[in-house]
Chains A and B, each alone.
Chain A
Amino acid sequence: MSSPTAERSFIRSRHVEFAAIAVGLVLLTVIFPVLNAHGLLSDYRINLWGKYLCYALLAISVDLLWGYTGLLSLGQALFFSLGGYMLGMYLMLQIGMLGSYAKAGQNPTGLPDFMVFLGHTFLPPFWRPFHSFGFAALMVFVVPGLLALIFGFLAFRSRIKGVYFSILTQALTYGAALMFFRNDFTMGGNNGFTDFKFILGHSLVEPDTGPATMRGLFVASAVLLFVVVLFCHWLNGTKFGLVRQAIRDGENRVLFSGYATAHFKLFVFVIAACIAAVGGALFVPQAGIINPDQMTPIKSIEAVVWVAVGGRGTLVGPIIGAIGINALRSWATQAYPDSWLIILGALFLIVVLFLPGGIVSLPGKITTWWRGRPKAAAPADSAAAPSPERS
C-alpha cells in the first residue's frame, strides 16, 4: 500500500534525504570508529551499533518487498540466518585447534566442537569448502538466493499473493527452523554456532586486537548499508522500480498491460533475500552466535515491525525503525524486563492504527498540521488508499 504522497512530501525533498544519508555516512564510517579508537565510545556500544546496522539491512530487505512491491514476506529472518550460517560455517572452521575439545586433546582433527560432542569423526563433505573465506562469502549469496529463486518461482507462478504469500513464507521459515534445530543436520542444532575466534586472520576475542576487528566489521556494515541504500535509491528511479510500485498498487492492471509481474516479483524477492543474507553474514561475527532462534517466524515479524514503525515505502524509514526499536529494546529489556514485549506490542498497535506511515511520516503530518491547511487529497489514514488486497 502506498504511503500517501502528501505525507511524503517532506521526506521526498531529495535534499533533505540526501543530507541525512550523507551525515549518517560520515557519522557511522568516520566519526564513530575514530571516537572508538580513542576510547571515547565503548567497544560495547560499537558492537551494539554494528548489530543494529545489520538489522537495518534486514529491515531494508523487508521494505523492498513490503513497502515497494506489496509482498509481505515473513521469511526474511530465514534468509538473514541462512547468510549468517554460511559465514558461520567458515568461522567455525577457523576455530580449528582452539576449540575446547581440541585443547583437551580429544579432537585431533580440529572439528567444530558440536560435531565432536555429537560423535562425528570427520568433517561432512559439504563443510569442506568452507575453509575458504571466498567460498563462504559466495555461498552467503548463493544459498539464500537460490532458495528464494526456487520458492519465489513456485509461489509467483501460481499467483500466490497477499496474505497467502505471507502465510506460505511463514511456513517455509517455520519448516527451516525445525530443520536447523535438529542435531543430525550437522548445523549445530539447538545451540547453533558460537565461540568464534578468527575472521580472515583477525582475532575476534583477543582483548588487544579484538576491538579493532569489531571496528572493522562495524565500518563494513555501515559501508554496506549505504551501498544497499544507494542501490535501492537507484532502483527506485528506474523503469523497473516504477513497474514494481505499480505491481504494489494494482497488480492486475500491470498484468493486463502486458508485464510479466511474476518475473518482476521474483527478481525483487531474490534481491531482497541476498540483502538480508549479507546483513546476516555481517551480524554473525559481531554477535558471536547464530542459532535457529534467529530464524523463527517471530523474528521475521519483528523485522516487519521495524519497517512499519520506521515507515515503509521509504529508504530511511526501515533504518530508523530497525535502529530505533533495537535501541529501545536494549534499554527496555534492562529497565523494564517484564514490560518489554508489552511495549513492543503496543508500539505495533499504535503504529498500525494511528500512524500507518511510520515515524518518517510524522514531520509531514506536523507540517501539514502547522500550515493549517488539511488537504482533501491527503487522507490521514491509508484506509482510503487503493487497496490491492481483498476487501
Chain B
Amino acid sequence: MARKPFLRPLFCRILLAVGLLAGVRAVAAPETPRATIVRAILTADDTQKREIIGSLAGEGDEAIRDLFTAWRQDNLFVYTAPDGVKIPVQLLDGKDANGAQTAIRVDNGEALQDAVGQPLRLVAKKMTAVEHDARLRRAMKTVVDLLDLGSPVLTKRLRAIQTIGFGQKAENLPVLQARSRVETDAKAKDELQEAIALIQLVDPDDAVKIKALAELRDLHNSSSYDVINRLKAKAVSEARPAVAGAATAALAAIDRHRAMVKFYGTIFRGVSAGSILLVVALGLAITFGLMGVINMAHGEMITVGAYATYITQNVFGDGMNFTLPFIKFAVHLPGLHLTGWAYQLYFVAAIPIGFLSAALVGVGLERSVIRFLYRRPLESLLATFGVSLILQQMFKLTFGSNNVNVDSPSYLSSNWTVFDITFDWNRVFVIGFAAMIVLGVWLVLTKTPLGLLIRCVMQNRTMAACMGVRTERVNMLTFGLGSGLAGLAGVFVTQLGTVGPSMGQEYIVDSFMTVVVGGVGSIFGTVVSALGIGLADQSLQQILLNPVLGKILVLLTIILFLQWRPTGLFSARSRSLD
C-alpha cells in the first residue's frame, strides 16, 4: 500500500507523455474508467481532454456518473503530494471545524493517505478545483447518457437503448454498433437493431434510410410508428418516393402486427371474460336449468364464496374479528400469521372453503324456502329475491358496506408476453379452472350415481319418487352443488373484480341470460353461450371503444337471438305441452 501513492502517478505521467506524443490511446492493457478520468484531469489541452472523456462512451461503470457529477459541482481537486506528484481527489461532504473534508482518490476510489498510511483530510479553500468548460460538460453528459448502455441490469440497458434510439443522434451510432457486437441478450439485441435503424433514419443517404426502414418493417415494433410516420411525411413533402414507399411498407407492417396483437388479445380477454361468466352461470345452469328454480339469490352465493376467500386470507394472515348482526355474537378468528409462500397458499385453501360454504348456505336455503316452491317457479323468483335482500343486508352489517380487499397471490399477479400479447396469469388461471370445473360437473352428472339420480329426478320428479328415489334428498344435494359452484365463482371473482356486499348483483342478469341463451337444461349450451357472450362483449368493446354500449348491444342481440331460437341454442326436445 505504501508504494501506491508514488507508483500510480508515475505510471500516469508516463502514460500521459506517451499519449501526448502519439496522440492516440497507447495502452496495451485495458485501462479502468477511473484511470481514464485521471488522465483527462491531468491533461492540459482542452481538445485532448474532451477526446479522452469521449473515449469513455459505452462504458457501464457507475463510478463515471459520480465522478462527472463531482467534477461539474467543483468537488474534484488536484492534490499535490509532498513529493510533487499530482493526485486528483474528490472531496466528500461534511466539513469539520477546520473546514477539512475527507478526500477520495479518483484513480482507485479509496481514501487518500499520507506517507504513514493515515487518512488525509484536505481543506477545499486551499486548493483549486479541476476546471471545466461548457464543451467539456457536454462531452461528459454524452458519456453519462450512454452509461446505462453498458449496465449489467437488463431493464436499465433496454431503457438506455430505447432512449438513445429515439434520440436519433448520428454520433451515438458507433457506440450502439459496438454494443450490439458484444450484446448477448436476445431482446436487447432486437432493441439495439431497432435503435440503430432509427438512428440510420436521419442519415442523409436515402439508401441507408431505405435499408433501415426495411429493418424496421421486419421488426414491426409499434414504438417506432410515430418516428416512421414523421419521416414519411417529410419524404412525401420532399418528393422522395423511394423513402416514402419504404416508410409506408414499414408502417403497414406495424399496423398489421398491431391488428394481430389486438385481435388475439381480444380473443384472449373474451375467452377469459366468458370463463368467468361460465363459472358463474354453471351453478345457475344446474339450479335454474336442471331444477327449474329461479334463484335470485344466486348472486349472493357468489358473494358467500368471495367473503369465504376474504376470511381465509385473514386467517392465514393476522386473523380477524367481526360481529354477527342482531344476535351480537362476536366472532374472533385467530390468525396463523403466515408469511411468504405459506401465506400465498391461502388462495388454494379458499377454493374448497368457498365451495363448501356456499353449498351449505344453498342447502339451508333449499331446505327452508325453495322446497315449498318447486311447483311455483315464478314465486321461487320472488321468494329468493327476498332472500337475496336479506343476505345482502347481512353481509353489509357483518363486513361493512365498503368493499374489502383480497390480495392477489404472487403466482397469479404476473403475466406472460408472447408476441407482444399480454397474458395475465389470473386470466389464464380462470380459463384453465373453468375448463376443469366444466369437466368436473360433466363427470359428476354423467359418471356418478349421484349424477344419475340428479338427472332422473330433474326429468320427472314424480316418476323418480315412484321408483323409490329419495327426491327430497336429491333436490337438496343438487341445489347444494349449484350453489357451491356459485361459491367457486366467487373465489375467482376476488381476483378480477371487487368484493363487496352487493357484488353478486353484477353477475345475476348476465348469468341468467347465459343460461337462457344456451338452452335451459343444457350444460353444454351454457358453455357455448358463456364463451360466445364473453367474446361478443369483448369484441364489441374493442370495436365501439365503449364498454356500456357494447353491453347494451349484447343484451339487444340476445333478445333478438331468442326470437330466432326461443328455447336457446341447445334445448331439450320434448313432446310434452306445459
Contact = CB atoms under 8 A, between A and B. Distances in A.
B26 interface: no
Interface stretch (A174-182, A192-200, A224-232): A174-182
A208 to B, nearest CB: 41
Interface in B496-555: 505, 509, 512-513, 516, 548-549, 551-552, 555
B387 A345 contact: yes
B562 A179 contact: no
B377 A162 contact: yes
Interface in B315-331: 325
B382 A308 contact: yes
Interface stretch (A38-46, A82-90, A96-104, A164-172): A164-172
A158 B566 contact: yes
B376 A175 contact: no
A345 B390 contact: yes
Nearest to B380: A352
Contacts of A383: 372, 375-376
A342 B389 contact: yes
B314 to A, nearest CB: 24
B357 interface: no
Interface residues of B, number: 46
Contact of B392 (A341, A387, A389, A390): A341
Nearest to B567: A164
Interface in B546-578: 548-549, 551-552, 555-556, 558-560, 562-564, 566, 577-578
Contacts, number: 132
Interface in B1-16: none
A246 interface: no
Nearest to B374: A391
Interface in A140-192: 151, 154, 157-160, 162-164, 166-168, 170-172, 174-175, 178-179, 181-182
A390 B381 contact: no
Interface stretch (A4-12, A283-291, A297-305): A297-305
A348 interface: yes
Interface in A294-322: 297-298, 301, 304-305, 308
Given A164-B566, A171-B509, A297-B509, A305 B382 contact: yes
B373 interface: yes
A348 B375 contact: no
Contact of B382 (A158, A297, A304): A304
A154 B388 CA distance: 31
A382 B383 CA distance: 15
B399 to A, nearest CB: 14
A159 B565 CA distance: 10
Contacts of A154: 559-560, 563
19 contacts: A158-B563, A158-B566, A162-B377, A163-B381, A164-B516, A168-B516, A170-B509, A301-B296, A305-B386, A308-B382, A338-B393, A338-B397, A342-B393, A342-B394, A345-B385, A345-B389, A348-B389, A349-B390, A390-B292
Given A168-B562, A179-B548, 5 more contacts: A167-B512, A344-B389, A345-B388, A353-B373, A383-B372
Interface of B: 292, 294, 296, 325, 369, 372-373, 375-379, 381-383, 385-390, 392-394, 397, 461, 505, 509, 512-513, 516, 548-549, 551-552, 555-556, 558-560, 562-564, 566, 577-578
